[in-house]
Structure 1
């Protein structure tokens, strides 16, 4: 077996014609002309609409609910409370986490106590959305306010508990070696730095909010769900467990989904309510979240801090690194966040030579919205590490680039195992780093920076080099299936589980299938997102889709190629091993004119079964399932950002943004770059703009786009791309790329700002870097150094 290409097939398709090419996205004509089908486009006969009554308090005891006035409104069909829906719950656990994790309670509707502003208390069902919203205002809930736990940083010392069964408000703790074992290294090192780095809460903010339509057929005992989701098969699995219904009685349909970024990876409490209520109403039930609800209740991410230590020898080589990491999981996190958070500690050493290292992880409840997955959920490891490397370089009087050069792993040093046991292979950290610096012309920028400082302008450059896990080869994500049907006409349909949420999974699957069968891409169509007809799959998440679907298509196409070759060989009186598939034909290698079109072969397979080789089944349809060859596939990249900071107003203007990425061979470079761009813009937003903030009483204060700021095209520079290709261990050598932009961008931007402000002695350990915070940092630095004439620019 060739590690980079998968199993050797005696019947080869033509050399790849589409994989690696900038093929236009097959979904674009539908989406760009407004002909997509999103959940809110689904209309069913007599459909009813749902609206939630939500808590206005961060923490309170529910002492009574009066729904009578709402029920009296004409057109209102039902008002459900916890006593109506919650008893219908059977097993509400996620396939990603498993049945037995020590998860927190997850009632569909609040029982006895509300735990954050936005906590769903009741569900109103009416003839239309407007009636449902009006009636929700008429539901009277009596609350007895309780002291909320708002600040997760102090939650472990609070006398109040978000859940009484979780002491100290701790959901879970994990750790490596005791930090005390490394104390001598830090104490005796020539250079040692220690900081506590804080990252603010922000949110995925998909362009399409959450939504669900559920239709129960009592006669057939079947439930059909149209979902905005990243994983239709997981929705079906969860719903089956939740309702106690057999899986084959549940169909989940996912057409187009306008972004997910982790927020739509698993079923949340509102989805549970709609599933439960659908069995109690006479028609299909639709719930579409508005933007206020999305910011209020769909989940927070990134809210965390870490006590970070790094030790260096006299030449700046890393001796040890440790992180004590604490994350805010809110009140109702999804999915169970303790296990995934371990990736922060596992990847904190990054793509550097780190002889000694350890970590601890603590997940803490608060009376705020629950934590959800968000593109690169472990990205704090890069934020903390890369900020610390710049801090260390400045203290040592060394250029941050030179410090990284002395410590970054090279491709020829692999395989390598980091100090907490993660094996590295098939990556190129130093190579991407040097490529990005070359694209910038780093030395020229430093000269420009010096000239600008002489003019009273402050330019900065920042980098981040990281290694990221993609394609976890375990659990629900460890396999992926595909079904390929060559129709009697010779056209090809390929069925995969789906989860295409803007990541161009449709296009990549069509490219891969066309190459695998040696047919024209125009003759290939893909069907995704319908659990009734597609094979089981883990959906999109963990940057898995490209490599896993490539494996599934390769496994399945190999079966069909063998069958096609056997039919052609039988008809042409040739040996099967002499048959090649090219341009939609099965040809005898070296014999011009000897061949059959795929349409002719398909006609034989379906319409002339008596002409098939002995023992050959009729038809040309096959299903296959790929199992990941490796427990994990690693990708890596370097992000490089330059900026100018106005120290009077605090405005940050990004000047250039460069990404050198190694995701292995690219199935479609345009798709790869689109994924990098999307994640990068989200990371820029997290560094400079976005903040899902609460006041001291637990009230959200950024509930609209007037105060929750997002980057726009005006703030984002043109992103420049460099590519280094190191094949991974899976089929085609493909690796994941979906999450990297969101991992690499925040540290690169933060370090660029810190570099611009280095003459002031500014020290950055808290995010986001708003204009106000930058002005404050500069002012405080000036004040603290006022007694040192000539050291601080005026």
Structure 2
């Protein structure tokens, strides 16, 4: 290929307005519930009211007698039709956990789907669901995952001690001498509560079977339409080309909608058994009860320091609740917690263990930064160590954070870091706050009886992991005969603005005006295969795919232009939708004229140039993972009488490489930060001792609102990654950094009381209890 160049980037790096905003902000988006098909039927699930019970029988006679009811399916009707049920995301050979579409023989959590009612509309389906009689024999539930390994009861036969899987590093005994000789060892068990993704749009699907053609069309709320297609083809034993998946707009996913869950399986299986398209839309109570949980875990962790405050070793024993039916295999994510526990610090020695434990609760599924617990535990221990050393937490971090000039660096658990800036983002965040000035303000406030605190978290985030479904990404670019450009990627509108960024990238790659570029995404019938929105991969992977594809078209365009203008191809540059001869202002030809030649005048093409201006390319990253990093910092005031936490300032210094669109980057950070604040202070997907969920409405499940979240301030450090454009992922970091930052800020505010935080969420009640307990200890001295 010759040295053809597009003009310097005009759009990448700019705060271009989102192309999807006009339809979304005016209420013209198309979500699953907006899809209406001729003769469409509606589905509603009969769900278990018990956490664990044997199913003795299902009587649907009364439901079937209700006018408008078409069918009631049980496990006996749907489950035998399953061919294969594994996810491309993790591969065929992973020892996955059980996943029956409908409960068979036994229900395993409150909300477990037992039967599927199909009726003329949702109202009739719900009425009929209440008429389905299920005869249950209650069984003792395993409600507390932390005690599940000692329980005589099993959530699933074949999993002794209720353990779904374990992984680990070297034995802790190998590090015993390091911990024994350390000047200080901080060891704590940190507990995090279960909370959930809570997307604005709940789960939903419309499945339409065409018997004459043997084709199934699915409209669904998903982050990965091609995963849904592959999963469905395996589930039903259909050829892939007989399954079409369409996602239009998806109202948030945050991991919950990466992979099809059991209800999705049921709709796919039932679609071939009913006379029309089948729609299922989950209500909010179902979502909070059955769509899955995340974060519920604890860790026994320790950090060793020498007398100067230098870290000498780190170890973590991590245990997570995976509920009854995790999606997908949870053991790999648990391992990530251990492997990333050393974080962005110089840690010479380390080890880890991880254990995934079943319980009779909703299944674990992915949630923005699924390994987030490693940062929560590590950063809480760092602040505890600083207090015991009589050192400011910022100074302790300065002594241990990796600097850019120390890279590449491999942590003791084998994670190879490169192109990150932990120290640099940390210092930028402190400077944005004016950290020293805040400490003086804090001192004056304490003298007045007000308790201010500051907390921070610096973390390393793996992005663009090249594995299984995520290994490659495709793009097709078609320059139409008019000269306008269409770019096709798997993508889809799920909140990460890939519609906007792919248009920016394509406009720059071809040297055309952004107004002349449109994108088609989310339809497996016309878009190239891709992994979708997961793993902070979309930006860098799509940039690679667009780059690979556009390079071929640039070569073809400039060859045609050079031939037409009688110039050397190396002298052709593309800008503003025109091909110009460098240094000759009047020698130019428009892209529309070039397209005219390419499509309609094949005899005028230069030798070796094929007709048409369309190409498909595929990108595979050269590195298995690209690392991003950030520092979060916040200040707060704690009312020690009421327990109320008021966040005062929130700062994020992010290094996600060069930004394709700073507005999109900051929007991704903000969304994650708010979710992390919710996890630290408000959200709790709670269960009672019998496994009954007690937070299945927004009356009980509290979310942060605009009133509780301060204005987020952004700083950026840009270190290019080894991939195309130097881009890194940014989708998950906000949710990783926010919980430890808020926890450390509250703990700093409560430092005069000697209170240490080891359990989330930090409700007003728990904060008051911490203060009272600390006062009680002081009174007994």
Q: Give the TM-score, by structure 1 length.
A: 0.98
CA distance in 2, matches of 1:162, 1:499: 37
Match in the other structure for 2:356: 363
Secondary structure of the residue aligned to 2:313 is strand
Corresponding residue to 1:396 among 389, 400, 423: 389
Question: Contact 1:459–1:755 (CA<8 Å) still a contact in 2?
Answer: yes
Look up the match of 2:771.
778
Q: Distance in 2 between matches of 1:530 and 1:439?
A: 44
Where 1:378 maps in the other structure, the secondary structure is coil
Aligned match of 2:716: 723
Note the C-alpha offset of 1:619: 0.7
The 5 Å alignment of 1:279-318 reads 279-318=272-311
Q: In structure 2, what is the Cα distance between the partners aligned to 1:445 and 1:734?
A: 34
Q: Output aligned runs, 1:680-719, within 5 Å.
A: 680-719=673-712
Task: Say which of 388, 405, 413 aligns to 2:406.
Answer: 413
Structure 1 CA distance for aligned equivalents of residues 468 and 130 of structure 2 = 44
Find the aligned partners of 1:718 and 1:398 in 2 and give their Cα distance.
Answer: 30
Asked whether the equivalents of residues 492 and 499 of structure 2 are also in contact (C-alpha less than 8 Å), the reply is no
Instruction: Tell which deviates more after alignment, 237-246 or 571-580.
Output: 571-580
Equivalence map 1:431-580=2 (5 Å): 431-580=424-573
For structure 2, list consecutive stretches of 5 or more residues without a partner in the other structure: none
Give the whole-Å Cα distance in 2 for the aligned partners of 1:474 and 1:204: 24
Report the count of equivalent residues. 781
User: What is residue 269 of structure 2 aligned with on the other side?
Assistant: 276
- Which moved further from structure 2: 603-612 or 522-531? 603-612
1:616 aligns with 2:609: yes
Deviation at 1:607, TM superposition (A): 1.3
CA deviation profile, 1:87-119 (whole Å, cap 9, x unmatched): 100000011121122222110000000000000
Partner of 1:264: 257
Q: Which residue of 2 aligns with 1:140?
A: 133
Partner of 2:373: 380
In 2, distance between residues paired with 1:342 and 1:194? Answer: 20
Query: Residues 779 and 343 from structure 1, CA distance in 2 versus in 1: closer, same or farther, beyond 3 angstroms?
Result: same
Alignment of 1:29-44 (within 5 A): 29-44=22-37
Deviates more, 1:607-616 or 1:184-193: 607-616
Q: Residue 785 of structure 1: SS of its match in structure 2? A: helix
- CA–CA separation in structure 2 for the residues paired with 1:187 and 1:196: 19
Contact 1:688 1:768 in 2 (8 A): yes
Which of 234, 241, 245 is equivalent to 2:238?
A: 245
Q: What is the CA distance between 1:595 and its match in structure 2?
A: 1.1
The separation in 2 between residues aligned to 1:565 and 1:164, in whole angstroms, is: 65
User: What residue is the counterpart of 1:187 in the other structure?
Assistant: 180
1:159-198 maps to which residues of 2 (within 5 A)?
159-198=152-191
Q: Which moved more, 1:608-617 or 1:650-659?
A: 608-617
Q: Counterpart of 2:585 in 1: which secondary structure?
A: coil
Distance 1:99 1:436 in 2: 44
Note the 1:752-767 alignment, pairs <5 A.
752-767=745-760
Aligned to 2:49: 56
Q: Residues 90 and 469 of structure 2 are in contact (CA less than 8 Å); yes or no, is this contact kept in structure 1? A: no
Aligned counterparts of 2:429 and 2:307: Cα–Cα separation in 1? 27
> 585, 590, 598: which one pairs with 2:591?
598
* Separation (CA, whole Å) in 2 of partners of 1:728 and 1:500: 25
Q: Determine the C-alpha separation between the residues in 2 that align with 1:184 and 1:709.
A: 46
Deviations 1:620-641 (A, max 9, x none): 0000000012100000000001
Q: Helix, strand or coil for the counterpart of 2:387?
A: helix
Please tell me whether the aligned partners of residues 500 and 540 of structure 1 are also in contact (alpha carbons under 8 angstroms): no
Matched, 1:350 2:348: no
Question: What corresponds to 1:645 in structure 2?
Answer: 638
Q: Check conservation: 1:156, 1:170, Cα contact below 8 A.
A: yes
Measure the CA separation in 2 of the matches of 1:75 and 1:574.
Answer: 72
> Offset of 1:340 from its aligned partner?
2.1
CA contact (8 A) 1:427 1:635 kept: yes
1:319 equivalent in structure 2: 312
Query: 1: CA distance between counterparts of 2:358 and 2:390?
Result: 41
**Alpha-carbon offset, residue 9 of structure 1:** 6.5
The counterpart of 1:68, out of the listed 61, 65, 81, is: 61
CA–CA distance in structure 1, aligned partners of residues 426 and 402 of structure 2: 10
Give the secondary structure class of the aligned counterpart of 1:184: helix
Q: 1:763 to 1:40 in 2, by over 3 A?
A: same
Q: What displacement does 1:499 show? A: 3.5
Q: CA deviation at 1:339?
A: 1.2
How far off is 1:787 after superposition?
3.4
- Cα distance, 1:344 vs structure 2: 0.5
Pick from 650, 660, 663 the counterpart of residue 667 of structure 1. Answer: 660
Instruction: Find the aligned partners of 2:57 and 2:329 in 1 and give their Cα distance.
Output: 31
- Post-superposition CA distance 1:459-492 (Å, at most 9, x none): 0000000000000022210110000000000000
Gaps of 5+ in 1: 1-7, 789-794
Task: Name 1:229's counterpart in structure 2.
Answer: 222
Structure 1 SS opposite 2:15: coil
Q: Counterparts of 2:250 and 2:334 in 1: how far apart (Å)? A: 26
**1:791 alignment partner in structure 2:** none
Q: Distance in 2 between matches of 1:288 and 1:11?
A: 50
Of 738, 758, 761, 1:768 maps to 761
Say which of 100, 121, 141 aligns to 2:93. Answer: 100
Contact 1:90 1:243 in 2 (8 A): yes
The alignment partner of 1:720 has SS state of strand
Deviations 1:242-289 (A, max 9, x none): 000000000000000000000000000000000000000010000000
SS at match of 2:39: coil
Helix, strand or coil at the partner of 2:541: helix
Q: Distance in 2 between matches of 1:189 and 1:200?
A: 32
Corresponding residue SS for 1:216: strand
Q: In the aligned structure 1, how far is the partner of 2:129 from the partner of 2:780?
A: 61
1:130 counterpart = 2:123: yes
Partners in 1 of 2:312 and 2:305 — Cα distance? 5
Q: CA deviation at 1:16?
A: 0.1
Counterpart selection for 1:654 from 627, 639, 647: 647
User: C-alpha separation between the residues in 2 aligned to 1:742 and 1:93?
Assistant: 28
- Deviations along 1:498-552, one digit per CA (max 9) or x if unpaired, are 1431110000000000000000000000000000000000011000000000000
RMSD: 0.7
Distance of 2:320 and 2:89 partners within structure 1: 20
How many Å apart are 1:614 and its aligned residue?
A: 2.1
Q: Give distance in 1, aligned partners of 2:197 and 2:622.
A: 31
For 2:495 and 2:573, locate their aligned partners in 1 and report how far apart those are by CA, in whole Å.
35
For normalisation by structure 2, the TM-score amounts to 1.00
Shift, 1:402, TM fit: 0.5
Partner of 1:635: 628
Deviation of 1:496 after TM superposition, in Å, equals 0.1
How far apart in 2 are the matches of 1:105 and 1:452? 55
Q: Is the 8 A contact 1:498 1:539 kept in 2?
A: yes
**In structure 1, C-alpha distance between the alignment counterparts of 2:116 and 2:346, rounded to whole Å:** 54
| 1:4 counterpart residue number | none
Aligned partners of 2:2 and 2:570 also within 8 Å:
no
User: What SS is found at the alignment partner of 2:5?
Assistant: coil
Q: Residue 596 of structure 1: SS of its match in structure 2?
A: strand
* Counterpart for residue 197 of structure 2: 204
What is the deviation of 1:610? 1.4
Q: Could you list the runs of 4 or more consecutive aligned residues of structure 1 that deviate by over 6 angstroms after TM superposition?
A: none
